[in-house]
Copies of this chain bind each other. A is one copy, B any other.
Amino acid sequence: MDDKLYFSYAQIHDTVRRLAGVVNGSGFNPDVIVAIGTGGFIPARILKTFVDRPILTVGLKLYDENNRPASSPRKIQWIDEVEKKLSGKRILLVDEVDDSRTTLEYCLRELLTHRPREVAVAVLHSKRKPKRGAYPPEVTKIFVGQEIDDQWVVYPWDAVDIFDHERRAGALTNA
């Protein structure tokens, strides 16, 4: 027994489906989905099944080359030619988890410099804990798939043995 929180792929997928229902029902109609890499890649791609918009990605690294935490996130890939097109657009920024909120705040501040029409955030999970980062006031909507306790979360894409992982998560049962 361990006290980590295991999510199966099906549970994640179904959480994204419900999250997409909330987005679609909210009146917020994004022009583009921006996925934060690499944690946001899988949630964003699933989201696209239910909110069919182009996905752009941004890559960030919170550790330096010696694997020591860096003082601030470092860009691995950023939207360049495309970022100019963000001006006047409605952006839905997607990540897997709102943990300390540091990465989300960093990305939001970067995106806001391009003067989008509107920016909203969608995360699979938000941990109930004090946040070090803050959502800039320009962010109009925050969509959360599921609030979770402040536990170690194990996502299926990080599993070395996926069959074992899925059994731990109770694979085919809805969370």
Choose from B54, B80, B158 the contact partner of A61 (Cβ within 8 Å): B54
Among A99-107, A125-133, A164-172, the stretch in contact with B: A164-172
As for how many copies of this chain the complex holds, the number is: 2
Report the bound CA distance from A55 to B8 in whole Å.
23
Choose from B54, B59, B159, B172 the contact partner of A13 (Cβ within 8 Å): B159
Range for the number of chain A residues in contact with chain B: 35 or more
| With contact pairs A38-B48, A80-B80, A162-B14 given, residues A9 and B57 touching in the complex (Cβ less than 8 Å) | no
- B61→A160 contact, CB < 8 A: no
Give the B-binding residues of A (Cβ under 8 A): 8-10, 13-14, 17, 35, 37-38, 41-42, 44-46, 48-50, 54-57, 59, 61, 76-82, 156-160, 162-163, 166-167, 171-172, 174
